[in-house]
A and B are shown apart, each in its own frame.
Chain A
Amino acid sequence: MIELDHVTKRYGDAAVVDDVSLTVERGTIMVIVGTSGSGKSTLLRMINRLVAPTKGRILIDGRDTAGLPEHDLRRGIGYAIQGHGLFPHRTVAENIATVPRLLKWEKDRVDERIDALLAAFALEPGLFRDKYPHQLSGGEQQRVGVARALAADPAVLLMDEPFGALDPIIRDKAQEDLLAVQRRLGTTVVLVTHDMDEAFRLGHRVAVMADGRVRQVGTPADLLTRPADAFVSRLTGTNDRALKLLSVRPVGSVVSPGPADGPPLPETASLRDALSALLWSGARALPVADASGRPLGRVTLDAVLASGRVG
C-alpha cells in the first residue's frame, strides 16, 4: 500500500504538487491523468524520491520512505518511463539484470528471471537475450523497459507514460501483458498517462490532476458518472462518455438468463465490445460464456443501452 500524506513539492514559489493526499491499495493499479504540467511526473517521482517532497510524508506499507537510503528504497520499486531509458551499451539480458545484480542475486536466479520476464512479454528469450536496445523495435524496447522494472519482484511499480510512444496495436498488446503480469504478481502500480482510454482500461482507480492538485479520485465509472467538476468531465470526454462508460463495464455485469443465437461473447469483454457485436450481427441478444466456454446466459441490446445511461 502506498500512502501520500499531504505531500507538497515547491520549485521556488511555485507549488508543482500542492498538498496531495492519496492512497493506493496493495495489488491495485492507480492511474494518474491530467493536463501537461499538472505535476503528474513530479508526484510519481516523489514516491521513489527521485524528487524530494518539500512537505508531507510518503509511506509504503506503513514505512516512511524518508527513513531509507535512497538507492535501497529505489531497488525495491520498479520504475519504467517513456522512452524506456534502456542502457544502450548493455544487452537486453544485462539491462533486465540491472536491479537483481545490484541486489546481488545468484547468477542462475538472474538468468532464470530474465527468461521468464522475456517470455511474459512475448519476447522469445533465445532471440532477444543478447540483442542491444538499438536492434529492437520501439515496442520491443518499451516492453524490455517494463520487464526490467519488474526484474527484482518489486512490490511497487511506477510507470511514467510507459506506452506513450507506441502505435495503437502494440500499445494494446503491451497493456494486456502488463495487466496479466500485474494480476499474477499482485504488484501495486502507479501509472501516469495522457490517454484516457488507457487510464480507464488499466486503472482500478484514476486520479485526475490539475495545477498540482488532485481534483478527483475514483473508479473509472465514478469519474464518468459523477465527475467532481467541469474540468474532470471535460477531461474524461463529453461526447463519447456513454461509450467510455460501456467500455469500463464487463459483459458479465448484465448477463441475464435465456437463450440467444450466434458466437458467444466472453464474460470479461466490455459492454462496448458487446454493443459493437450486437450492432454488427443485427441480433437483439448474444450468448455469453465464461473463460472455459461454459454458457452463462445472454446479453441483450436493451441491457447494454441501459448501462450507457447515467444513474
Chain B
Amino acid sequence: MRDRDDQRRIDRLGALLAGIGALAAVLLPFVIAKPNRIVAGEPLGLVAALPGAAGWPVAAVLLLAGVLTILDRRPGVRLAVAGAALAAVCLAVGVAADGLTPEGDRYGRVSPGGAFWLLAAVSLLAATDALARMSLRPAGRIGALVIAAGATAALLASGAWADLSFMREYAARADVFWREAARHGVLAVGSLAAAIAMGLPLGILCHRSARLRQALMPTLTLIQTIPSMALFGILMAPLGALAAALPLAHDLGIRGIGLAPALLALFLYALLPVVANTAVGLADVPAAVTDAGRGMGLTDRQLLTRVELPLAFPVILTGIRIVLVQNIGLATVAALIGGGGFGTFVFQGIGQTAMDLVLLGAVPTIALAFASAVILDAAAEAARRRPA
C-alpha cells in the first residue's frame, strides 16, 4: 500500500514549478512586438500572441503538463511531460513571431516575453530534475545532452524561430557570430590548456614541497578574489608597456588590449583550481599505496605516472571542470578590453539597450557552460567509477 500512498502524494517541486509556470503564463507577456529594435513594444499574452485560436491548444498542453508534473512521480513520465511542454513553448514562440511579423518587414522585432522565459525555464528545470531522478550513468547523461543539443540544432535549422528577435540579430551578423564563437572557444579552452600545462607540474611540486605550497596557494587564492574587470585593468598596464618597449611582442599580438590580456587573465583565474586539485588529488592517494610502490622499487617518476596521477585523475578532472565552466563565463568580460567572444554582443546590446543582442551573446554562453559541466562531470564520474 505504500506505493499507492507515494503515488498519490503530490510532488512539491512539481507543484512549485507548475505554479510559477501558470502565474507567468497568465500574468506576463508571452512575446513583445516592436516596430523596431529600440522602441518599447506591445506586450502580448499567450493566446493573443498566437494567430487565430492556436493559443488554446498550447495552453491545454501546458496545463496538462503542469497537472502531470504535480501528480505523477515516475521520472520517465515527468521527463516526457517536461519535454513536451518545452517543445510546445518553443514552437509557439516561433509561430507567434511568424504571425506577428508582416511579410517582408526588416525592422520589426518580436522578442520572447517573460512568460516564454519562465515557462521555458521551469520546463528545463523539470526535465533536469527528472533526469537527475533517473540517476543516469555517465554515458546516459552524455546521451541526454546529445539529444538535447540535436533537438536545439534542429529547431534552429528548421527556421521555426527565423522571425524571432534574436534570430534576426543573428541573421544580420551570422559571420560575426561564428567568428566571436570561435574566439570565445579560443579564450576559454586556450587559457584552460595553458593552465593545465602549467598547473599540473605546479600542483605536483606543491604536493612534494610544503614550503612551495604555503607560498603559492595564498597567492593564487588572492588572484581569484580580484574581480575580473579589475584584473583585466591591472594587466593592461604592464602588457601595454611591454608592447611599447618590444615591437616584436607587439607584433606577436601581446598588447595592453585584445586577446593577450584576456587570455592571461583567464589563465591566472584558472591556475588555482588546477594546482589545488592536483595537489589535493595527489595528497588523497593513500600513504600505504605510495609506500608499497616505493618499497617495490618504483622510481619516483614511475610512481607518479603509474600510481599517483592515475589515482588523482578524477579530482584533477573536477578541477578542470571548474576551470572550464568558470572560463566560459568569464570570457564574456574579455570583450570589454577587446578580447572578443560572445561578450561582444552582450556589451553592444547593453550599449544600445537592445536586449535581443544581449541574448544573442548570453544564451550561447550559458548553453556552452552547461554542456561542458555535464560532459566533464560525466567524465569525472566515469573515471571514479572505473579505475583506469
Contacts and interface: CB of A to CB of B under 8 A. Distances in A.
A99 B292 CA distance: 11
B387 A75 contact: no
A125 interface: no
B300 to A, nearest CB: 9
Interface of A: 45, 48, 50, 70-76, 79-90, 98-99, 102, 132, 145, 148-149, 158
B293 interface: yes
Contact of A88 (B289, B291, B302): B289
Interface string B276-307: 00000000001011111111111100100001
B298 A84 contact: no
A87 B293 contact: yes
A297 B334 CA distance: 95
A148 B296 CA distance: 9
The residue in B286, B297, B302, B307 that gathers the most chain A C-beta atoms within 10 A of its C-beta is: B297
A74 B296 contact: yes
B299 A85 contact: no
B159 to A, nearest CB: 50
A254 to B, nearest CB: 42
A86 B294 CA distance: 12
B295 A74 contact: yes
Contacts of A81: 288, 291-292, 295
Nearest to B285: A88
A75 B294 CA distance: 10
Contacts of B388: 89
A86 B289 CA distance: 6
A132 B387 contact: yes
B294 A99 contact: no
B55 interface: no
Contact of B298 (A48, A76, A88, A102): A102
Interface of B: 286, 288-299, 302, 307, 310-311, 387-388
Given A89-B310, A89-B388, A71 B297 contact: yes
Contacts of A102: 296-298, 302
Contact of B292 (A71, A72, A89, A145): A145
Contacts of B387: 88-90, 132
Contact of B294 (A74, A80, A148): A74
Given A50-B291, A50-B294, A85-B292, 14 more contacts: A70-B297, A74-B297, A79-B295, A81-B292, A81-B295, A83-B288, A85-B288, A86-B289, A87-B292, A87-B293, A88-B289, A88-B311, A102-B297, A158-B295
B298 A87 contact: no
A102 B298 CA distance: 8
26 contacts: A45-B295, A71-B298, A71-B299, A72-B297, A74-B294, A74-B297, A81-B288, A81-B292, A82-B288, A84-B288, A85-B288, A85-B291, A85-B295, A86-B289, A87-B292, A87-B307, A88-B311, A89-B310, A89-B387, A98-B296, A98-B298, A102-B296, A102-B298, A102-B302, A145-B292, A148-B296
A102 B296 CA distance: 9
A89 B386 CA distance: 8
Contact of B286 (A45, A85, A145): A85
A50 B295 contact: yes
Nearest to A90: B387
A73 B289 CA distance: 19
Nearest to B387: A89
Given A87-B307, A89-B311, A48 B295 contact: yes
B386 to A, nearest CB: 9
